[in-house]
Amino acid sequence: MTSQPPDGLPAYRLLTGKDDAAFCRRVSDALALGYVLYGSPAATFNGTHVVVAQAVVWPSASR
């Protein structure tokens, strides 16, 4: 694993979106790239649907 995220991505990312399969795939894709979960997920209701957030960090950034 490299010390920097691929494709110029930032070391810290906050993934947000509607709580659906597409959001779960985005988190799974970040984990497959080598990111690790950072903290607990968050959820809220915007009046229409549940919106979720999950922070991920590049491993070298979390030391």
Strand order in the sheet with 50-57: 12-18, 50-57, 36-45
pLDDT value of position 2 = 75
CB 37 within 8 A of CB 56: yes
Nearest Cα to Cα of residue 53 among 37, 41, 63? 41
Q: What is the pLDDT of residue 62?
A: 60
Residue numbers of the chain with a pLDDT score lower than 70: 1, 61-63
